């Protein structure tokens, strides 16, 4: 049984954890609240790490969820540099690296993930860099000097955003992607083609279908040897091949884990009084749907808040519409709902040179949309698509494709 005098504990002082802590206080919880992180910083948002912060136009304070004064004001105890090393769900307690045990009434696991390592990269090579944390972003920024020959491994969002920022910083960039197209695991062909064209136009040497044989050098990688025999010289290597969710603690404690920590519709794990949220959380949007993880700002924000409400006993089902964005150079990608790497059901070309792709279900209702355009120009259409998704109206694919038919008009129909 939970000891209600014991604190609420949030394990993971990232975006979801920080949002949960704020929500608990916003909702009037005034009992003891502990936020435990293994980074030295207060919770911050990660999207600027590959964009403004990497470029040097934003610092940590610009992406922090709250500052030390607010932390004190809200009476949240922040434990940094003393990470959790074990969970004991049966006894409602957890252990810190210094050996001490802490009891909890309710626990949220929001441990996010870490950058996936490239197995063939020499362990001690100082010029092979990864990007997940603020401190890694600062190290990368220092490395991206004008003229640096940068090799980016991985044509997903992190690799593409780093490539774009590195070009803005004056680096020579070569990007290696193992698959036949950019971000091909999640995005439709048309978006991959637009990304390829944009990066090529901005001077990135993008190589698709590339297999790497070896990274040559020990303390310092000097070149990358491709399976086709080609050798690419470099000063720095950035590896952006995805992230690994931090599930080990939960698994060792006997909590149900799949690709992430499994939760029910209330974001409750298989252990009593333990919730999970954010990148580490594997959830279903519908009881008969597939388990999924979302590695997005929007999901961390929504689940952090939602888990906190349920820690307070609200028993609310989580059903937020998924979505994400990516900014590269002066172009933006935004998605809402469920999108797939497959052909969309309708495509609307826009006068800006951008487009919106629509996905429909068998009843012709919108389930997802993906927009591409200069700056933030696509935001309005994507907001309307969110309303169309939530309205469950049957739509005509030809009208969706027709640029002269305002999406707002379809909403009224």
Stretch of 23-31, 99-107, 226-234, 296-304 lying at the interface with ligand FAD (CB under 6 A): 296-304
Q: Which of 116, 222, 297, 350 binds ligand FAD (CB under 6 A)?
A: 297
Distance CA 42, CA 330 (A): 30
Distance CA 1, CA 302 (A): 28
The dihedral of CA 152, 153, 155, 158: what is its sign? negative
CB nearest ligand FAD: which residue? Answer: 14
Q: Which of 10, 19, 41 is nearest to 134 (CA)?
A: 41
Q: Which of 235, 295, 345, 381 binds ligand FAD (CB under 6 A)?
A: 295
Smallest distance from ligand FAD to CB 209, Å? 25
Assess contact for 247 and 280: CB atoms under 8 A: yes
| The token pair that represents 215 in the structure block | 């990274």
Smallest distance from ligand FAD to CB 299, Å? 6
Distance CA 209, CA 273 (A): 46
Assess contact for 369 and 356: CB atoms under 8 A: yes
How would you class 146 by CB atoms within 10 Å of its CB: exposed for 0-12, middle for 13-18, buried for 19 or more? exposed
Strand order in the sheet with 33-37: 77-80, 33-37, 8-11, 106-109, 274-276
Smallest distance from ligand FAD to CB 228, Å? 30
Query: Does residue 165 touch ligand FAD according to CB under 6 A?
Result: no
Q: Map the footprint of ligand FAD across residues 170-199, applying CB under 6 A.
A: none
Stretch of 105-113, 119-127, 252-260, 357-365 lying at the interface with ligand FAD (CB under 6 A): 105-113
Query: Residue 263, Cβ neighbours under 10 Å: how many?
Result: 27
Q: Which of 2, 7, 29, 39 binds ligand FAD (CB under 6 A)?
A: 39
Query: Does residue 296 touch ligand FAD according to CB under 6 A?
Result: yes
| The token pair that represents 169 in the structure block | 């910083």
Query: Residue 254, Cβ neighbours under 10 Å: how many?
Result: 13
Smallest distance from ligand FAD to CB 8, Å? 15
Q: Which of 92, 107, 111, 160 binds ligand FAD (CB under 6 A)?
A: 111
Binding mask 115-144 for ligand FAD (x = CB under 6 A): ----------------xx------------
Q: Which is nearer to ligand FAD, 153 or 400 (CB)?
A: 153
Q: Map the footprint of ligand FAD across residues 340-369, applying CB under 6 A.
A: none
3-state secondary structure of 366: strand
Number of residues that bind ligand FAD (CB under 6 A): 36
Triad 86, 29, 11: Cα angle to 5°: 20
CA 1 to the chain's CA centroid:
34
Query: Does residue 112 touch ligand FAD according to CB under 6 A?
Result: yes
Stretch of 35-43, 163-171, 309-317, 372-380 lying at the interface with ligand FAD (CB under 6 A): 35-43
User: Which positions touch ligand FAD (CB under 6 A)?
Assistant: 11-17, 36-39, 46-47, 49-50, 83-84, 110-112, 131-132, 158, 246, 249, 278-280, 295-298, 300, 324-326
């Amino acid at each position: 049984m939970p000891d209600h005098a014991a604190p609420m504990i949030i394990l993971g002082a990232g975006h979801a954890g920080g949002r949960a802590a704020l929500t608990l206080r916003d909702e009037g919880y005034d009992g003891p609240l502990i936020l435990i992180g293994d980074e030295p910083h207060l919770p911050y948002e990660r999207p600027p790490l590959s964009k403004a912060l990497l470029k040097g136009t934003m610092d940590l304070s610009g992406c922090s969820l709250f500052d030390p004064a607010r932390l004190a004001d809200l009476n949240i105890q922040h434990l940094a540099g003393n990470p959790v090393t074990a969970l004991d769900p049966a006894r409602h307690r957890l252990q810190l690296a210094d050996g001490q045990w802490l009891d909890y009434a309710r626990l949220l696991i929001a441990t996010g993930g870490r950058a996936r390592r490239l197995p063939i990269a020499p362990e001690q090579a100082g010029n092979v860099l990864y990007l997940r944390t603020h401190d890694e972003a600062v190290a990368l920024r220092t490395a991206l000097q004008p003229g640096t020959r940068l090799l980016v491994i991985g044509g997903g969002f992190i690799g593409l955003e780093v490539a774009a920022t590195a070009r803005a910083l004056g680096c020579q960039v070569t990007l290696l992607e193992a698959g036949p197209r950019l971000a091909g695991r999640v995005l439709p062909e048309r978006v991959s083609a637009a990304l390829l064209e944009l990066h090529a136009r901005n001077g990135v040497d993008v190589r698709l279908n590339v297999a790497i044989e070896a990274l040559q050098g020990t303390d310092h990688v000097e070149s990358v040897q491709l399976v086709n025999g080609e050798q690419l010289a470099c000063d720095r290597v950035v590896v952006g091949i995805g992230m690994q969710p931090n599930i080990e603690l939960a698994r060792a404690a006997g909590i149900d884990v799949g690709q992430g920590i499994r939760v029910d519709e209330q974001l409750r794990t298989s252990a009593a009084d333990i919730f999970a949220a954010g990148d580490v959380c594997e959830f279903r949007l519908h009881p008969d749907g597939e388990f999924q993880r979302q590695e997005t700002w929007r999901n961390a924000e929504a689940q952090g808040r939602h888990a906190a409400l349920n820690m307070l006993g609200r028993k609310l089902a989580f059903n937020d519409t998924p979505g994400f964005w990516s900014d590269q150079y002066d172009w933006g990608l935004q998605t809402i709902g469920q999108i797939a790497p497959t052909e969309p059901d309708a495509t609307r070309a826009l006068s800006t040179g951008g487009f919106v792709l629509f996905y429909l279900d068998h009843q012709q209702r919108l389930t997802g949309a993906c927009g591409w355009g200069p700056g933030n120009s696509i935001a309005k259409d994507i907001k309307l698509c969110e309303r169309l998704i939530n309205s469950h109206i049957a739509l005509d694919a030809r009208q969706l494709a027709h640029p002269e038919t305002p999406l707002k008009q379809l909403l009224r129909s």
